[in-house]
Amino acid sequence: MKISQIKLLLGSLAIVLGLEKSPIHQTNDFKDIFDDQYNDERAYENANSLPKSKAQEVKSLNLGENVKDYQKTIKVPLENYYNIQYFAKLYIGSNLIPISVIFDTGSSSLWISAADCIGCPHLADLYNQSQSFTYFKETSVSDHISYGAGEVYGYNSTDVICLSNSKNNFCMNEVKFKLVTEARDFHGLQADGVLGLSPKNFENSVDNLISQLVDGGLIERRMFSMIIGASDENPHILFGGYNMRYAKEGEQLRWHNLVNNNFWTVNMSSATISDQALNKISNSAIVDSGSSYILLPEGDFQVFTKIISKDRSCYFDALGTKVYVCKCWMENYKDFPDIDIVIDDQKYVIPSSSYVQKSGFTCFIKVVPQNQMFSNYWILGDIFIQNYYSVFDIDNQRVGLARSNHVDNHWNWKLYAYLISYSLIGAGLTSLLYQYIQERKLKQREKIERQQLEQIKLSESDEFSFEDEV
């Protein structure tokens, strides 16, 4: 849409709403229409008071998309890996090599695998720093980033990093990152790096990247928002702002100030399931896009499993993934209770359709215990963010939440019978170590167990025959 068309639409809207008193092209006229969070909430609120036909006409304008000359944002698509990992492309170096990275609100560092990295996944094109004339190695001594289980080793470095390889490629010079030459215990990671998005300005943190986006005039605010799991929108991250079109109609953002600015930590005043209290240990929760599941302190997890296992046969997965499973038989996920949490004074619901995945006669529970550092915190991972459009405001140290357009449609996907993921929490809160079991592997194990059982039976049969002979 051309700018002239945008102005015409905005002018028409202002007249309808009774807001237009001066030419619409002036910047302050945008502020008259949009509230101080530079989105279309106020317009939607006013539209609701209009006749239905006019209200629909106003809402169809998608104002948040149409004012990009005022609200500068950058939309980066995310790739969805079975609802358990979300990653995107960064383009690095003078030759713009595409690298897949996890966008992780639970950690602070940006790291990228080197072409000769030992133990790295190497799933995308490889970044060879020697082929980039803009690369600079800041230190000659390797250091490391430790996670709950696993760590990476590498050198502090800088290079050109772009968010796109299109005509408007949104490039930043001398972005700090760690060039990783060795990774340990990162099996199952579907990316070649991690882009940390925590609010604290750590050394080598993404604050460097976001600040450069602001300084370069590419975005106006140190803010980003995430939508994942929506049925009519591809998952993406929006740098520079948010757009209420990704929230359910009639929803407004509810803002929560951070209680710990190391992470996106909010005050969780209560948590219940089947009207029974869960949060016996902590009153804090961390919104973490790098964790696939909901992670609970051990004490809360014991209460949780006691409740959901009532009248069910439930147990930990025998293969050591720490995933809790229940026999479902003819049940489906709707037979499990929802989880209700209250952040400040606002209630949020995690439906059972989000935390239970049914496969055959087994239900996998995507709520897991965490025994790592910061174990007193609840970790609200992708399961939570799939249900709530999440806005992360670095400048004002707060998180905004609104029910998303998410429709729980992953049941229609072709499921791997035993596809399981588990995120371990550590110093950076998210190790992104995903352990999954494929059906083929499970069948192989069952085959071995059958063979062992047959050998035992054969051994017993031989023993009885010997005794008979004697």
Q: What is the pLDDT of residues 400-446, one digit of tens each?
A: 999 988 655 444 333 333 343 433 333 233 333 333 333 333 444 44
- Active site (annotated) includes residue 104: yes
pLDDT tens-digit series, residues 382-392: 999 999 999 99
- Active site (annotated) includes residue 288: yes
Quote the pLDDT of residue 58: 41
pTM value is 0.73
For the chain, the average pLDDT equals: 73
Calpha distance 219→1 (Å, rounded): 20
Quote the pLDDT of residue 373: 56
CATH number, domain 251-440, options 1.20.1260.10, 3.40.50.920, 2.40.70.10, 3.20.20.70:
2.40.70.10
Q: Please give the average per-residue pLDDT across 340-369, as a whole number.
A: 91
pLDDT band at residue 374 using 50, 70 and 90 as cut-offs:
low
More confidently predicted of 470 and 133: 133
Quote the pLDDT of residue 337: 92
pLDDT tens-digit series, residues 153-196: 999 999 999 998 876 678 888 899 999 999 988 777 788 899 98
Catalytic residue chosen out of the listed positions 29, 40, 159, 288: 288
216 — phi, psi (to 5°)? -85, 0
pLDDT surpassing 90 at residue 123: no
pLDDT tens-digit series, residues 206-262: 557 788 888 888 999 999 999 987 445 688 999 999 999 889 888 999 999 999 888
Catalytic residue chosen out of the listed positions 29, 104, 300, 393: 104
pLDDT band at residue 455 using 50, 70 and 90 as cut-offs:
low
CATH architecture of 74-215: Beta Barrel (2.40)
For residues 368, 372, 376, 382, the Cα torsion angle rounded to the nearest 10 degrees is -40
Q: Please give the average per-residue pLDDT across 271-278, as a whole number.
A: 90
For residues 21, 25, 30, 31, the Cα torsion angle rounded to the nearest 10 degrees is -70
pLDDT surpassing 60 at residue 21: no
Q: Please give the average per-residue pLDDT across 120-129, as a whole number.
A: 80
Least confident range from 1-10, 136-145, 349-358: namely 1-10
